[in-house]
Amino acid sequence: MASTPTVIFGAFDRHNFGDLLIAQVAARMLPRRELLFAGLAARDPHGDGGPATVALSRIAAFARGRPVNVIHAGGELLTCNAWEAAVMLAPPQRVPALIAAEDDWLRDGRAWAHQHVGVASLAPYVLSKSALPGVRVKHLSFNAAGGVDLDARNALLGADVLAALQTADAVSVRDRQTQALVAQRGIEARLIPDPATMTAALFGTAIRRHAANYALLGVRQAFPRGYVAAQFSADFGDDATLDTLATQFELAARGHGLGIALFRAGAAPWHDDLAVYERLAARLRAVHVRVFASLNVWDICALIAGSRIYCGSSLHGRIVAMAYALPRVNISHPDYSLDASKHAAYVRTWEAAGLAGVVNLGNLADAVANALATDRESLHETASALARRYREEFETMVAENRL
pLDDT score for 2: 59
pLDDT tens digit at each of 403 positions of the chain: 457 899 999 999 988 999 999 999 999 999 888 999 999 999 987 789 999 999 999 999 999 999 999 999 999 999 999 999 999 998 888 999 998 988 888 888 899 999 999 999 999 999 999 999 889 999 999 999 999 999 998 899 999 999 999 999 999 999 999 999 999 999 999 999 999 999 999 999 999 999 998 889 999 999 999 999 999 999 999 999 999 999 999 999 999 999 999 999 998 887 899 999 999 999 997 788 999 999 999 999 999 999 999 999 999 999 999 999 999 999 988 887 777 789 999 999 999 888 878 999 999 999 999 999 999 999 999 999 999 999 999 999 888 877 7
Closest listed residue to residue 401, CA positions, set 29, 39, 7, 4 = 4
The string of DSSP codes covering 23-52 is HHHHHHHSTTS-EEEEESS-B--TTSSPPP
Closest listed residue to residue 26, CA positions, set 72, 67, 66, 58 = 72
pLDDT score for 216: 92
151 neighbors 114 (Cβ within 8 angstroms): no
CATH of 198-385, one of 2.30.30.40, 3.40.50.2000, 3.20.20.70, 3.30.70.120: 3.40.50.2000
Closest listed residue to residue 315, CA positions, set 341, 292, 351, 349 = 341
| Domain layout of the chain by residue ranges | 6-192, 198-385
288 class by beta-carbon count within 10 Å (0-12 exposed, 13-18 middle, 19+ buried): middle
For 62, the enclosing helix (H) or strand (E) is helix 59-63
Query: In whole angstroms, what is the distance from residue 350 CA to residue 344 CA?
Result: 10
Instruction: Measure Cα distances from 249 to 228, 254, 268, 279 in Å.
Output: 9, 8, 25, 14
Query: In whole angstroms, what is the distance from residue 393 CA to residue 388 CA?
Result: 9
Query: In whole angstroms, what is the distance from residue 105 CA to residue 116 CA?
Result: 10
pLDDT score for 101: 86
pLDDT score for 81: 93
Contacts of 82 (CB under 8 A, 6+ apart): 105, 112, 113, 116, 117, 119, 121, 122, 123, 124
361 neighbors 332 (Cβ within 8 angstroms): yes
Closest listed residue to residue 278, CA positions, set 294, 265, 291 = 291
* Range list of H helices, 257-400: 274-283, 297-305, 315-323, 342-350, 364-372, 376-400
SS3 at position 141: strand
* 379, amino acid identity: L
SS3 at position 54: strand
pTM over 0.85: yes
